[in-house]
Structure 1
Amino acid sequence: MVKGTETSEKIGTRRGIQSFDIGLSVLEAFVAANGPLTLTQLGETLGMPASKLHRYVSSLVSAGFLDQPRRSGAYDLGPRALAVGLAALNRNDFVNRAAAAMEDLVARTGVTGTMAVWGNYGPTLVRWERGTDALTTALGLGSVMDLFTSATGRIFAAYLPEGSVKAFLASGIGVASGAVGASEDFSSLDDMRSEIRRLGYACADGQYIPGLFAASAPVLNWQGDVEVAVTLVGRSKAVTDPEGEILPLLVETARNLSVLDPASSD
């Protein structure tokens, strides 16, 4: 008798978990959609009958996670979903999370890592994690990186809003801070942005600092803008080899830290 009761409880638990999983799948479908979905469209997306999904959708509407704002019968994310999303965003500390991930990245690759954020004067280094190669360079915390020639700077040039980048270039602040060369040709900006966004990373093969090779990838926020540039720097071209081990690992790390996938940021 006890054995039968335990079996029933296990079945009930499994059913409860399955229902929760389906409910999460419904929410994920609305997150991925570009707009409201009808039950028919939701069923096609999830590969489930609309009749089966109706009770899940009704429960989510009752809980405030979904809403039905239009007479068309389509549903969309509700106020509770917005509240959860905003709470998660407020707790998403990009810099600290990236710092922890960079320590592991440097340990696994052996090359030096840096982190940069956008400051008043341009891309600014805020963390330096030395690898086993023990590089010697004049760069340090607080250094401002060049937008066009450094891998770090190129990430900001590509993944900040276009209007913000062009306004910064027009202001002359970058020339004064060293973020932009005095004779830099700004006409290359659009092509550079397109190429880096296509690749999902930026490289500098001994152009910014002779003898050093750097690769950088963006940590993107919910709007697709860069919050942190994570960069690896070394003496070997292996750092910038897309077919090697280091660059793909860097890109994967930045992607995992991002709210929005760099590959879909356009």
Structure 2
Amino acid sequence: MKVEGRGVQSIEVGGRILTALIELGQPTMLRDLAARAGMTSAQAHAYLVSYRKLGLVEQNPANGHYFLGPLALQLGLVRMRGSDPLRMASDTSIELSEATGYMVTVTVWGTHGPTIIQVHEAAYPVHVNLRAGALYTLTGTATGRLFAAIYPFEVVRTLLAREMRAEQKAQHLPSGKSREAFTEDFDEIRRLGYATTEGVPVPGINAVSVPVFDQSQKMQFALTAIGPTSALDVRTGSRDVAGVAEAINRLSEKLGYRPDLAANPAPAKPRMRPRRG
């Protein structure tokens, strides 16, 4: 997030060291830490001395490696206690809707599957009947497919199996072929970090759904942008999809998500072949 106004340059420079420690994620030698922060070892050492005095950084006396100290832990705990994930998801969805003109929904996993808890109306005309309390299907919507791909399998398996059987019956597909198609779809969503639909289940309406993770690296919400085909381009390399994903991924970062610690990290620049109706 860009912050306007004049700041203190030395603090901003020193902040690069703290960011490097977070990104490296393990005790680190001075030269490696300095290289990651983009400064000389002598410059980094001066900042590290001050940080050690404050308790932000500690140094292992045996090997000289640096790592985050107790003050950094206390700051993180205070941040976690003061965070309201649902409020932050709501704020992000409102900002995204106002910036893009898309309808945006916030969805959680409920008793009966992916359940919408908030709907923020679009500036573009979107003729879909979505409201708080409504359910997304796991196999026919971007939001549902996202949950099916990323949420714990033991949670989604019963509903997913029921929907897959119904899908197979409706399309008269052999069980193996249908399951293979679903598996490939979910694998792609996990690899690329979001799901899209183009013209399904509502003709002329596209959607892109992105997961929101917290500090435990677990999915908490799905935020889904919905718009007419003429306004929301979900083709490979689309600026629309990249912009939506970037905005929602920032929310995960605010909630403490670390892609490098996750089993299925989202890419820095998400790309996905659109699902066509």
The number of aligned residues is 243
Separation in 2, partners of 1:73, 1:33? 16
Residue 118 (structure 2) pairs with residue 114 (structure 1): no
Name the structure 1 match of 2:40: 49
Q: Which residue of 1 aligns with 2:80?
A: 89
SS for the counterpart of 1:227 is strand
Q: 1:255 aligns to what?
A: 249
> Partners in 2 of 1:206 and 1:127 — Cα distance?
22
**Does residue 99 of the first structure (1) align with residue 90 of the second (2)?**
yes
Q: Could you say which structure has the larger radius of gyration?
A: 1
CA change 1:169–1:229 in 2 (3 A) is: closer
Choose from 191, 196, 204 the match for 2:184: 191
User: In structure 2, what residue type is equivalent to 1:248?
Assistant: A
| TM-superposition CA deviations, 1:62-103 (whole Å, max 9, x none) | 222112246111111112111212222333323222322322
In 2: Cα distance, 1:86 partner to 1:188 partner: 43
Report the TM-score, using the length of structure 1 for normalisation: 0.76
What is the distance in 1 between the residues matched to 2:234 and 2:81? 36
Residues 29 and 46 of structure 1 are in contact (CA less than 8 Å); yes or no, is this contact kept in structure 2? yes
C-alpha separation in 1, matches of 2:41 and 2:71: 23
1:4 alignment counterpart = none
How far the C-alpha of 1:127 sits from its partner, in A, is 0.8
CA offsets 1:16-67 (integer angstroms, 9 cap, x no match)? 9343223322111100103111112222223433233223212212222112
The whole-number CA distance in structure 1 between the counterparts of 2:79 and 2:248 is: 18
Q: Give the conservation status (yes or no) of the 8 Å contact 1:117–1:227.
A: yes
Quote the residue 1:34 is aligned against. 25
1:167 aligns with 2:154: yes
Per the TM alignment, residue 236 of structure 1 is displaced from its structure 2 partner at its CA by 1.9
Name the Cα RMSD after superposition: 3.0
Alignment CA distance shift 1:71-1:157 (3 Å): farther
Structure 1, gaps ≥5 residues long: 1-13
**Residue 253 of structure 1 aligns to a residue in which SS?**
helix
Of stretches 31-40 and 66-75 in structure 1, the one that deviates more from structure 2 is: 66-75
Spell out the pairing of 1:142-181 with structure 2 (5 A cutoff): 142-160=133-151, 164=152, 166-170=153-157, 172=158, 180-181=163-164
Give the aligned partner of residue 220 of structure 2: 227
**Equivalent residue letter for 1:195:** E
Structure 1 match to 2:173: none
Structure 2 distance, partners of 1:203, 1:142, is 22
